[in-house]
Structure 1
Amino acid sequence: MLYLIDKLMGRTRVTINENERAIWFYKGEVRGILGAGEHVLPNRRNQVRIERIALNSAAFVSVYEKALFEKAADQAEAQLTQYRTGSDEIAVIECDGRIHSVLSPDSKLTVWTDAGPWKADVIALEQDPVIAPALLQRLMKAGVASLLSQVRIVEVDKGQVGLVTVDGRMTGELTPGVTGYWMVGQKVAVKIVDLTRQPLDVTGQELLTRDRVTLRINVAAEYRVVDPVKAVTEVKDFTDALYRALQYAFRKTLGAMTLDQILESQVTVDAEAATKVRSDMAAIGLEVTDITLKDVILPGEMRDILNQVVSAQKAAEANVIKRREETNATRSLLNTAKVMADNPVMLRLKELEALESIAGKVDKLTVTNGTEGLMNDLVKLSGD
């Protein structure tokens, strides 16, 4: 019966559920927004059209938004809430206590009011691009890619420092911890600098000595950054600068020396080269501690020649020592002979020692004419 009456009256009834809203049109023109409940609408010649929208999307996105605020402003303002940001502002939009979205500068967001409650926190970027720690934690816990795409998260470990530049201007240093920056409307860059001691090896460097011998050297150094601002701003890459300084210093120092000088005084070479390197690196904020010339590598043919020279030197030294010992032995025999010549008793004792030595090497010894005769016979035998 109600249906017949509505049809005769040229109207229709529309029911909207609690979890949805609807935009209604009459003769193709936007007329307003329908809330939850039953609505009676004019519908002559079936000119009414309904466009239903689910509230679970929360954000209102429609090509009819402008028309609604112009032709049905009261209904639009009752059902929808708009948030806008200026050219230097960011807005964090919360829905029912949870972060819903982040508005970048010069942006607009329209939401269904009944999908809330809603809250907006507007942040001026010119004041500070750093995200408050509590808000950063909430953004990270939300884990929404669209939110984090507008955030730069920087983690600085213990023993490090972070140098922050905003739009090319250095603004400060970061201590160990996690810091977040808004990455909209500005360019934020962070350079992490390690402040701990670090090794640096310069290997396989070829150079020519003063006597035209080609060598390869390996150098090891240890350094740490004491002024991170200088280390980053004075040179493009402070590690590369140290590498080149070590390379140049050792080339210059060793190139002015002969091979023999290099092999005999490596410690002196290190000290001379290290003084120059430490002075240059201190100017860019680096403290260089240990510098060591680890290896001096000769070409194969030069190594063979050097081995021959060493062998000859050692053979000559051995021959000198042998001749010296022979001379000492001869001098000792001469002294002994002089003592025996001046002392017959000593000569007799030596004869007895010789007889004892001979007796120890034979099984049987017969003495026929006394000890004196035996000694005389031995002397005769020796003479023959």
Structure 2
Amino acid sequence: MEILDRVRGVERLIVKENQRVIALYKGKFHGVLTPGEHVLRADRGRLEIEWHDLARPEFASIFDKALFRDHAEVTEQYLTEIRAGADEVVVVSRDKRLHAVLKPEERAVYWTEAGPWTTERFDVAGDLAVPDKVQKRLTGVARLTLVTSVDVAEGHVGLLFVDGKLVSELEAGAHMFWAVTRKVAVKVIDLRRQSLDVTGQEVLTRDRVTLRVNLAAEYQVVDAVKAATTVKDFADALYRALQFAFRKSLGVKSLDEILADKVTAEAEAIAEVRTQMAAIGLTVGEIAVKDVILPGEMRDILNKVVAAEKEAEANIIRRREETNATRSLLNTARVMAENPVMLRLKELEALSEIAGKVERLTIHNGTAGLMNDLVKLRDE
């Protein structure tokens, strides 16, 4: 059969169900071959064949323009052409499942039998927001470069910029925008109360001692538009304002004054920081010095000073206690001198304490006749 076909100058083609063939003879369009067996004239290599697999439904052919220009009846029967307008985005679905997204003025051609094909058109000349019903479908599309998506968490706000211009504020939730004809950007601002630390800030005190201090401040964004558009970075602006304020306020104090009250800066400096930050949409809460770090030599000197002060305090306490004890003895002696009976009672009390510790006790006449003989305190 092959030899006979060769002699006859024909070629036999078998097209499967998932295939389509574009055939040209002598450079002219011959037709679209559908599933089945086809016998075509192929003498002297004048037959051209272009195979297409419907598993890839896009029609990609070097004969595309020629077919649509000269063979409208063929393209209408076998192909589906989709064009997006100058301000349109077209969502293409295949058998009700999203297949592709066409940006403005983009064209796509599909094999009609690979469908059915449906389209949804969206005008992007005005509102760039992607409808909620389309957002979830777009998530699985490979060409997500055509959209800008952002998730705004609770306690945050999103600022939508189109071509560098602020357009609107976005509430918490998932948002998606067409990014086809204009540049779309979303900046998310945290509206919750936050803290900022300024570490290792060097300060020269009034008595020319160099310190390093760690600062802390609490702040909150109350006007997201001002915070995002007035300065490049509002957190950095607060950081620098704190640096300048504490250098100014702590630089006029001596080391002793700073160590005595290190938790706050001057009220005037704090008020200045709050005023500056209010102008860019921030409210500033508590501002404090967390740590004061001294140079090594100065730390040793202060430790010696503190040790000397504590030693002096201990000496004062010892002297006070000794004075109180002496004063108590003097008062006791005065009472005994004025009251002989009390003196005798004290003697008996002393004898009682001593008797419990010794076996025998001899009392001489120094007790003025209290006991003149040897006293046997207990039996042998």
TM-score by length of structure 2 reads 0.83
Q: Counterparts of 2:188 and 2:59 in 1: how far apart (Å)?
A: 42
2:217 corresponds to 1:233:
no
Q: Counterparts of 2:52 and 2:318 in 1: how far apart (Å)?
A: 112
Does the 8 Å CA contact 1:165/1:171 hold for their aligned counterparts? yes
Tell me which residue corresponds to 1:21.
20
Q: Counterparts of 1:49 and 1:367 in 2: how far apart (Å)?
A: 148
- State the Cα distance separating 1:296 from its structure 2 match: 1.2
Tell me which residue corresponds to 1:318.
314
Tell me which residue corresponds to 1:211.
207
Q: Counterparts of 1:17 and 1:149 in 2: how far apart (Å)?
A: 36
- State the Cα distance separating 1:341 from its structure 2 match: 4.6
TM-score by length of structure 1 reads 0.82
- State the Cα distance separating 1:55 from its structure 2 match: 2.7
Per-residue CA deviation, residues 28-52 of structure 1 (Å, 9 max, x unaligned), is: 2334434456778677777443333
Query: Are residues 37 and 367 of structure 1, via their aligned partners in 2, closer, same or farther at CA, if it must alter by over 3 Å?
Result: closer
Residue 94 of structure 1 aligns to a residue whose secondary structure is strand
Please, which of 148, 152, 167 is the counterpart of residue 148 of structure 2? Answer: 152
Q: Counterparts of 1:361 and 1:131 in 2: how far apart (Å)?
A: 103
Please, which of 298, 302, 305 is the counterpart of residue 306 of structure 1? Answer: 302
Tell me which residue corresponds to 1:178.
174
Tell me which residue corresponds to 2:93.
94
Does the 8 Å CA contact 2:159/2:168 hold for their aligned counterparts? yes
The AA in structure 1 aligned to 2:225 is V
Tell me which residue corresponds to 1:169.
165
Does the 8 Å CA contact 2:265/2:287 hold for their aligned counterparts? no
Does the 8 Å CA contact 1:214/1:299 hold for their aligned counterparts? yes
Per-residue CA deviation, residues 210-256 of structure 1 (Å, 9 max, x unaligned), is: 11111111223333322222221122112212222222222221111
Does the 8 Å CA contact 1:58/1:115 hold for their aligned counterparts? yes
- Residues 215-364 of structure 1 mapped to structure 2, 5 A cutoff: 215-269=211-265, 274-350=270-346, 363-364=359-360
Q: Counterparts of 1:76 and 1:331 in 2: how far apart (Å)?
A: 124
The AA in structure 1 aligned to 2:80 is T
**Number of residue pairs the alignment of both structures matches:** 370
Tell me which residue corresponds to 1:50.
49
Residue 200 of structure 2 aligns to a residue whose secondary structure is strand
- Residues 191-202 of structure 1 mapped to structure 2, 5 A cutoff: 191-202=187-198
What is the aligned-residue identity percentage? 58
RMSD (Å), alpha carbons: 3.4
- State the Cα distance separating 1:88 from its structure 2 match: 1.9
Per-residue CA deviation, residues 9-43 of structure 1 (Å, 9 max, x unaligned), is: x9888665543333232322334434456778677
Q: Counterparts of 1:267 and 1:16 in 2: how far apart (Å)?
A: 87
The AA in structure 2 aligned to 1:161 is V
Query: Are residues 347 and 76 of structure 1, via their aligned partners in 2, closer, same or farther at CA, if it must alter by over 3 Å?
Result: closer
Does the 8 Å CA contact 2:202/2:210 hold for their aligned counterparts? yes
User: Where does the alignment leave 5 or more consecutive residues of structure 1 unmatched?
Assistant: 377-384
Does the 8 Å CA contact 1:25/1:48 hold for their aligned counterparts? yes
The AA in structure 2 aligned to 1:183 is A
Q: Counterparts of 1:319 and 1:11 in 2: how far apart (Å)?
A: 125
Residue 240 of structure 2 aligns to a residue whose secondary structure is helix
- State the Cα distance separating 1:57 from its structure 2 match: 2.1
- State the Cα distance separating 1:137 from its structure 2 match: 0.8
- State the Cα distance separating 1:80 from its structure 2 match: 1.9
Tell me which residue corresponds to 2:116.
117
Tell me which residue corresponds to 2:185.
189
Residue range with higher mean Cα deviation, 114-123 or 16-25: 16-25
Q: Counterparts of 2:277 and 2:369 in 1: how far apart (Å)?
A: 93
Query: Are residues 322 and 368 of structure 1, via their aligned partners in 2, closer, same or farther at CA, if it must alter by over 3 Å?
Result: closer
Q: Counterparts of 1:334 and 1:12 in 2: how far apart (Å)?
A: 141
Tell me which residue corresponds to 2:128.
129
- State the Cα distance separating 1:306 from its structure 2 match: 1.0
User: Where does the alignment leave 5 or more consecutive residues of structure 2 unmatched?
Assistant: 373-380
Query: Are residues 114 and 349 of structure 1, via their aligned partners in 2, closer, same or farther at CA, if it must alter by over 3 Å?
Result: closer
2:81 corresponds to 1:85:
no
The AA in structure 2 aligned to 1:75 is V
Does the 8 Å CA contact 2:365/2:371 hold for their aligned counterparts? no
